[in-house]
Amino acid sequence: MKLKWMLPIGLFALSLATWIAFGIAVAMHVERKVLIAMAAFGALALEGVMWSTAAILGVSAFQARRQIWGRVRAVFQRA
């Protein structure tokens, strides 16, 4: 694996861990302030994944989301 993909993969792992922790926190009935903070952090981490992947792929910011989500959808539609 190329070194340039380490940042998006790391950010994706961070985002995934945040959303898993968010689900656990919801199940444990954590305070609303903590849930909001966790959701905001998870959303920012996911946004970092999108922007860093777009930068690596060399597409503009406006085209990035469409291309990335198109690739993700294609993977799930094949299955």
Give me the DSSP letters along 50-78: HHHHHHHHT--HHHHHHHHHHHHHHHHHH
Tell me the CA distances in angstroms from 51 to 8, 48, 70, one per residue in order. 9, 5, 15
Average pLDDT, the chain: 84
Higher pLDDT, 76 or 66: 76
Number of domains in the chain: 1
Instruction: State which residues form the domain around 37.
Output: 3-78
Question: How does residue 4 score in pLDDT terms, banded at 50, 70 and 90?
Answer: confident
> pLDDT for 26-58, tens place per residue?
999 999 999 999 999 888 888 888 888 878 877
Q: What is the pLDDT of residue 9?
A: 85
Higher pLDDT, 77 or 4: 77
Tell me the CA distances in angstroms from 64 to 13, 42, 50, 70, one per residue in order. 20, 19, 7, 10
DSSP symbol at 25: H
